Amino acid sequence: MADRVLLLDPYWQVEDAQAALGNGWVVERADTPAGDDVVGLLVCPDVTVGAAELAALPRLRAVATCSTGYDHLDVDALAAAGVWASNVSGYCDEEVAEHAVALAIDLLRGTTLLDSDVRANGGWDVDAAPPRRIGGSTLGIVGFGRIGRCVARRGVGLGMRVEAYDAMVPAAAIELEGVHPRAGLHGLLRAADVVTMHALLNDSTRHLLDAAAIAAMKPGAYLVNCARAGLVDHDALGDALRSGHLAGCALDVLPVEPATGDEPEFDWPNTIITPHAAWYSPESAGEPYRRAAADLGAALAGGEPVYALARPVRR
């Protein structure tokens, strides 16, 4: 019997994955990553693969996720077990940047919130979300990787003062983009009219925006998060919105997805929520699946994945 590759993603078609991998492996849809004859996994961000899962996958050789973020993969544990792990970085940089900037403009100009007030309350004035001028407003970017840079270029083009914080990026590299670097996170938060999150989620960035950081934000500022919900302490964010310390927020990511409808975020004031849509466009829709399948196929054939996250220890 041929070695198996498990597909753990409700949106990925088995036929497409099989065609991308070829006939050397049998692709099967599964709910759980387990099996003595499983050599590869194609996963989505909802599927955790780490030490516990490795115990049920004695012949696993490669894991590929159809996402840019990879906080659901224990890369160190996989590498130590001799397993390749890869993501699909870069496939939707433009889309996420455009979505984040669109939400930032939406909040500053109040378009969605004013529309909601007109429809729900018959309001016909600006009091529900007084529009602000975009040019001259300060856009604060937390995380200055590929997407953060794409956001910065758009903010500069709109005439905004763009500032960025990233502990891993030298100030000179930030300045090359026409952006003002901040050495400390709280300094950025105190200066920005709207803050947008673009950091990877890991142990050091989880709840990067905690209660103290949110309290340091400029009174009346806005927050945009199109990265990972875990970057923000949602209890503290809800408190800041209800108290009026923050004027509003726009979220493309929630702690629990898909949303069930009873999330506390749905009751927060001045909050815009989109359904984890920042990555999407017709051009990007199939790209993460193609890249992930190609990387998995390369690893199973004895090559190196293009988007490998770490070189595994050979067993």
Residues 14-45: pLDDT tens digits? 998 988 887 788 999 999 999 999 999 999 99
Nearest to 66 by CA among 145, 146, 147, 12: 12
Instruction: Decide if 250 is inside a domain.
Output: yes
The two structure tokens encoding residue 216? 């340091």
E-strand ranges in the chain read 4-8, 26-29, 38-43, 62-65, 84-86, 138-142, 161-165, 180-181, 194-197, 221-225, 246-251, 271-273, 308-310
Q: How far apart are the first and last CA of the chain?
A: 23
Instruction: Determine whether 276 is an active site residue.
Output: yes
| pLDDT over 90 at 315, yes or no | no
Residues 164-174: pLDDT tens digits? 999 999 999 99
Q: Are both 266 and 117 inside the same structural domain?
A: yes
Q: Are both 158 and 239 inside the same structural domain?
A: yes
Domain ranges, residue 210 = 93-273
Q: Are both 241 and 109 inside the same structural domain?
A: yes
Q: How many domains does the chain have?
A: 2
Q: How many CA atoms lie within 13 A of 167 on its CB side?
A: 8
Q: Are both 69 and 108 inside the same structural domain?
A: no
Give CA torsion, residues 131, 135, 137, 141, to 10 deg. 120
Q: Are both 87 and 137 inside the same structural domain?
A: no
Q: Are both 127 and 50 inside the same structural domain?
A: no
The two structure tokens encoding residue 300? 């199973």
How far is 135 from 266, CA to CA, in rounded Å? 30
**pLDDT score, position 24:** 80
- The CATH number of whichever domain residue 192 belongs to comes to 3.40.50.720
* Residue 1 vs residues 17, 20, 240: alpha-carbon distances, Å: 19, 20, 58
Instruction: Decide if 279 is inside a domain.
Output: no
Q: Are both 77 and 121 inside the same structural domain?
A: no
| CB of 58 closer than 8 Å to CB of 80 | no
Average pLDDT over residues 278-306: 94
- Of 59, 175, 242, 257, the active-site residue reads 257
Instruction: Determine whether 198 is an active site residue.
Output: no
Q: What is the average pLDDT value for the chain, to the nearest integer? A: 95
SS3 state at 265: helix
SS3 state at 93: helix
Average pLDDT over residues 58-84: 96
Q: Are both 84 and 101 inside the same structural domain?
A: no
Nearest to 45 by CA among 204, 237, 230: 230
- Of 228, 234, 265, 291, the active-site residue reads 228
Nearest to 312 by CA among 3, 87, 35, 63: 63
DSSP structure string for 293-311? HHHHHHHHTTS--TTEEEP
CA-based R_g, the chain, Å: 21
Q: Are both 254 and 295 inside the same structural domain?
A: no
| pLDDT over 60 at 1, yes or no | no
Instruction: Determine whether 283 is an active site residue.
Output: no
- Look up the pTM and report it: 0.92
| pLDDT over 70 at 57, yes or no | yes
| pLDDT over 60 at 127, yes or no | yes
b/e per residue 250-281 (b: at least 16 CB within 10 A): bbbbbeeeeeeeebebeebebbbbbebebbee
Give CA torsion, residues 171, 172, 177, 179, to 10 deg. 40
Q: Are both 79 and 195 inside the same structural domain?
A: no
Nearest to 237 by CA among 261, 260, 217, 259: 217
How far is 268 from 263, CA to CA, in rounded Å? 10
Q: Are both 263 and 151 inside the same structural domain?
A: yes
Q: Are both 98 and 85 inside the same structural domain?
A: no
E-strand ranges in 125-244 read 138-142, 161-165, 180-181, 194-197, 221-225
| pLDDT over 70 at 89, yes or no | yes
Q: Could you identify the residue written with the tokens 């003595």?
A: 36
Residues 206-263: pLDDT tens digits? 999 999 999 999 999 999 999 999 999 999 999 999 999 999 999 999 999 989 989 9
- Of 132, 207, 276, 290, the active-site residue reads 276
How far is 109 from 137, CA to CA, in rounded Å? 11
